[in-house]
Amino acid sequence: MQDIQNLLEQSSARHSHLCPRQVLGVRMALVGAELLGFDLPRSDKAMLVIAETDGCFLDGLEVAAGVTPGHRTLRIEDYGKIAATFVEVKAGRAVRLVPRPNVREAAYQFAPGESRHYFAQLQGYQVMPDEELFSAAYVNLFPSAEEIISRAGVRTLCKSCGEEIINQREILVAGEPLCRACSGQAYYGLQFPIEVLQSKKAQVDFHLDP
């Protein structure tokens, strides 16, 4: 078992301070890995972590588990929840953890004499028993772990916009590969292209609709 105080110091160093959600990230990583039988931190790709929010929670997860987006061992599905699913990639087993609904109030019991809720959580989350801190459940993944990870390096071109798509993220429509944007799942809407100018000093004056 890793030393939790050392992990919290590492997380605090990258975040400039320590906050309750970092503590939850560290604790959650330790419990999730233990339920799957993994030692931490990982330096391989045997375990995938799917986090359900971004922010400081991720610092705790990354430090304790050794997972990163760059190694494709950490993904974010932004549901706005302090929750994460830990996946044994080879077997496809997955366990999801989330703090119990009353965890903020329960933290006061483990921070005697602390009346400030932020600091009660900061202290309490570090020492609360796992079973009082988290709910856990084995889950099925949709799509599967194999589909989520896909085949790195596979490339194709979108039939509509011509842009390259990697990691098997194309969507087949009538047998033709489309990117998510061209298939109607874009997070942006194109206003107009910006022409590449010869002069590096030239500026393009454009107006963004409110």
**What is the pLDDT at residue 193?**
81
Average pLDDT over residues 104-123: 95
pLDDT at 151: 83
Residue 153: which pLDDT band, with cuts at 50, 70 and 90? confident
Residue 42 has pLDDT above 50, yes or no: yes
Closest CA to 177 of 188, 190, 164: 164
Domains of the chain: 4-148 (3.30.1330.130), 151-185 (3.30.60.20)
How many residues are present in the chain? 210
At 210, which amino acid appears?
P
Mean pLDDT of 139-147: 92
Supply the pLDDT for residue 135: 98
pLDDT over 70 (residue 111): yes
Among the residue ranges 24-33, 105-114, 160-169, 198-207, the one predicted with the least confidence is 198-207
Q: What is the pLDDT of residue 196?
A: 66
Average of pLDDT values for 108-112? 95
The per-residue pLDDT of the chain, averaged, comes to 91
pLDDT attached to residue 50 = 98
Give the pLDDT confidence score for residue 200 in this predicted structure.
47
| Predicted pLDDT of residue 1 | 58
Q: Each residue of 54-87: pLDDT tens digit?
A: 999 999 999 999 999 999 999 999 999 999 999 9
pLDDT at 205: 52
* Statement: residue 131 has pLDDT above 50: yes
pLDDT of residue 140: 97
Residue 198 pLDDT level (bands cut at 50, 70, 90) = low
What integer is the mean pLDDT of 99-118? Answer: 95
Placement of tokens 């454009």 in the chain: 206
The answer to whether 5 and 13 have CB atoms below 8 angstroms apart is no
Give the pLDDT confidence score for residue 152 in this predicted structure: 78
